[in-house]
C-alpha cells in the first residue's frame, strides 16, 4: 500500500450513527486509512477520502476517483464481502 492508492466514497450518516461497529468492520476489511472525512449536511452523508491497497494509484494532480462500496452479508447479517466499484 502506498499513499497514492486513493479513493473517495460516501456513507449515509445514519449508518455511521446507528451502526458504527459495522462501518469499522468494513474499513478494517478494506485496510482503509481515512485521510479526510467531510460531513455533507444537505445529503446526510459523510464523504471519506483515504488509502487502501484495494484502490488504484492516483497520480499527483489528478482527481481522486469516487467509488461505491458494495457490502454483502450472510444470512445471519455478518459481512462476507466488500466490493469497491466505480460510482455510478
pLDDT in tens, 15-68: 999 999 999 999 999 999 999 999 999 999 999 999 999 999 999 999 999 999
The total of other beta-carbon atoms located within 10 Å of residue 46's CB is 19
Q: Which domain holds residue 14?
A: 6-86
Question: Is the confidence at residue 87, as pLDDT, over 90?
Answer: yes
Number of domains the chain is built from: 1
- Is 63 a domain residue? yes
The total of other beta-carbon atoms located within 10 Å of residue 57's CB is 10
CA distance 83 to 54: 9
- Is 16 a domain residue? yes
Question: Is the confidence at residue 88, as pLDDT, over 90?
Answer: no
Mean pLDDT of 61-76: 95
| pLDDT in the model for residue 57 | 96
- Is 52 a domain residue? yes
- Is 1 a domain residue? no
Question: Is the confidence at residue 1, as pLDDT, over 90?
Answer: no
Mean pLDDT of 58-86: 95
- Is 41 a domain residue? yes
Amino acid at each position: 500500500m502506498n499513499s497514492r492508492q486513493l479513493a473517495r466514497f460516501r456513507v449515509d450518516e445514519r449508518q455511521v450513527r446507528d451502526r458504527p461497529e459495522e462501518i469499522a468492520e468494513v474499513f478494517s476489511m478494506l485496510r482503509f486509512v481515512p485521510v479526510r472525512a467531510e460531513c455533507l449536511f444537505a445529503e446526510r452523508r459523510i464523504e471519506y477520502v483515504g488509502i487502501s491497497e484495494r484502490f488504484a494509484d492516483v497520480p499527483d494532480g489528478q482527481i481522486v476517483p469516487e467509488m461505491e462500496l458494495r457490502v454483502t452479508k450472510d444470512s445471519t447479517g455478518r459481512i462476507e464481502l466488500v466490493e469497491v466499484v466505480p460510482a455510478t
